[in-house]
Structures are given as structure tokens and as C-alpha cells.
Amino acid sequence: MPAEKTLLERYAPYRRWVEAGFWIAVFGAQAAFNSGVTVIELRRLGVPHHPWEPVVWEVTSNLVLLLLVPALAWLEARFPLRWDTLRRGLPTHIAASLLYSAMHVAAMLGLRHAVYAALDARYRFGDWVPSLTYEYLKDVRSYALIVATIALYRFFLLRLQGEARLLDAPDEGAPLEPLERPQRFLVHKLRKEFLVAAGDIEWVQAQSNYVGLHVRGHDYLLRTTMAAIEKRLDPARFVRVHRSYIVNLDQVAEIEPLESGDARLLMRDGSRIPCSRSYKERLRAVAA
């Protein structure tokens, strides 16, 4: 009888649609709301304008912001803002906010000029220095809100998936002794904690700033690098077979050579893991 799917596994087929739908709804609602507010404010101040102008301003601005969300998601994954990395990551995000604002303004102005030209009108941005300052102050706020939302969402997914850590991990920068290998990993999943034996790990896969510990059909993310985790695992049992994979030899059922010179590993659970040619001979030597 197959194991019951976890909440995260049931969510996975809809994840991209939910994420895209969320951001489309957020910026669509923001464009509609801001358009209405701008119309009311212009009428209150008696500023002459075409009825379609506030809609064009807000739609072009929010459309560009929407298109920039994937870039911010990549950046947040590459440079996560956590207390332990804040000093190193904050300058990167400050510089990125400037680039984010510049891209937003440039694309937004390009769209506005195109729409105005199509409607036989002329768009005026205003004085550059105060206008750019105003746009950046708005953009840095939206940048922070988007990155914070992505970070919170990622944290929620980690809690669903299960985030692991080494028991009694050494201090950062401390040398790793060859025999200093963990026998168990502590996993946080929602509000529960449990232990995973190192020998139960079937394979390890690189996932952005994490490595995924694959155990009996589940992935538990560990905040480390492939090089660091490779040093901590027993080399008689765990072998690097790809730049993104380390496998437990006890879980390898078959090695399938490929015409390219690489290989494919058939694991005991039926999964297939790539093995690059640069690691194939080492795998055979250790497995012999």
C-alpha cells in the first residue's frame, strides 16, 4: 500500500499556479486600488488629465513590478537575509534595490511613452532628480515587502518539508576532523522534532543554499554546501557521483552506463540519479 502523500506533496502540482496567481492578484489589486485613489486625488486637486492616464500609470508600474518578482525570488534564494548572514547579505540587497528601481523606472517609462504615443498624446515624467528619488523611495519599500514575503513563504515551505541540522555542529570556520561525522540529524518539521540516522539517508542533492537529505521518500533540507556535507559523511558508504548528488552505496541497485560516457544510477526505491563521467571511476573503485 503506497504511503499517504504529505501536505507538501499534495500541494506540489499546484505550487507554480498558486505562486503566480498570488502575485498576479496582488499587483492587479494594487493597480486597481491605486488607479482609483489617483483619480480621486487628481479631481480633488483640480489637475487636468485624461481619464485613462491614472490607469496607464498604475498598470505599467505594477506590470513591471510583477515581471521583476522572479528575479527577486532568485536573489532571495541566492542571498537569504537571515541573522547569521545579515552583515554579508545586506549590502548585496541594497545594491540590488538600486538596480531593481532603475529597471522598474526604465521599463515603466518605456511602456508609458509607447501607450501615450499610440493614443496620440505625450507623456511627461517631470524633473529627473526629484522624480527618481520619489520612485526609489517607493521601490525600496516594494522591494523589501516582496523579499520579506518570499522569505516568509520559503520558511513556511521549509517547515512543511522539514529542515535538518547537524547535532553538535562545529563553530563556523572551525576545522572539521575526519572522524567527526554525525550519526544523526535533527529535523524540524512544523512543530515537531525528530532524529534521522545518517545511515538512513539514501542520497543527498544540492538545492540552492541547501542540500536535501533524501530519506524514505522525503527530503529534509540542511543549510550547508555539498563540499561541507561530503566531508561529514562516511566515505566508505557515501560517494559523490555528480556535482549535485552524493549517494549511499547501500541504496544503489544498478549502474547503467550511457553512450555519452556518463552513467545513471538506479536506486533501490526506483529513483534514478545522474552520475557524471568524472565521478564514475571513483564510484566503481569504492563500490568494488
Looking up cell 561530503 gives 230
On whether both 55 and 108 belong to a single domain, the answer is yes
Ordered per-residue pLDDT tens for the chain, 288 residues: 344 566 666 787 888 999 999 999 999 999 999 999 999 999 998 988 889 999 999 999 999 999 999 999 989 887 877 666 677 788 999 999 999 999 999 999 999 999 999 999 999 988 999 999 999 999 999 999 999 999 889 878 877 777 777 655 444 444 444 445 677 787 776 667 778 888 888 999 988 778 888 888 778 888 888 888 888 888 888 999 998 999 999 999 998 888 888 888 999 888 899 998 888 777 877 766
For residues 219 and 226, the answer to whether their CB atoms sit within 8 Å is no
Print burial letters for 2-28: b (CB count within 10 Å at least 16), e (below 16).
eeeeeebeeeeeeeeeeeeeebeebbe
Which pLDDT value is given to residue 5? 60
Provide CB contacts within 8 A for 142, sequence distance 6+: 65
On whether both 87 and 173 belong to a single domain, the answer is no
* Among candidate residues 88, 187, 220, the one with its CA nearest the CA of residue 80: 88
On whether both 225 and 149 belong to a single domain, the answer is no
On whether both 49 and 91 belong to a single domain, the answer is yes
On whether both 172 and 146 belong to a single domain, the answer is no
Which pLDDT value is given to residue 4? 54
Which pLDDT value is given to residue 2? 45
On whether both 170 and 155 belong to a single domain, the answer is no
Query: What is the C-alpha separation between 67 and 34, in angstroms, rounded?
Result: 18
How many domains are there within the chain? 2
On whether both 137 and 263 belong to a single domain, the answer is no
Which pLDDT value is given to residue 211? 86
Query: What is the C-alpha separation between 38 and 59, in angstroms, rounded?
Result: 12
Looking up cell 538596480 gives 99
Which pLDDT value is given to residue 178? 43
Question: Which residue among 138, 161, 184 closes a domain?
Answer: 161
On whether both 156 and 175 belong to a single domain, the answer is no
On whether both 153 and 169 belong to a single domain, the answer is no
Torsion of CA 135, 96, 205, 220, to 10 degrees: -60
Residue 2, domain member (yes or no): no
Range of the domain at 188: 164-287
Residue 113, domain member (yes or no): yes
On whether both 211 and 137 belong to a single domain, the answer is no
Which pLDDT value is given to residue 21? 96
**CATH, residue 260:** 2.40.50.1020
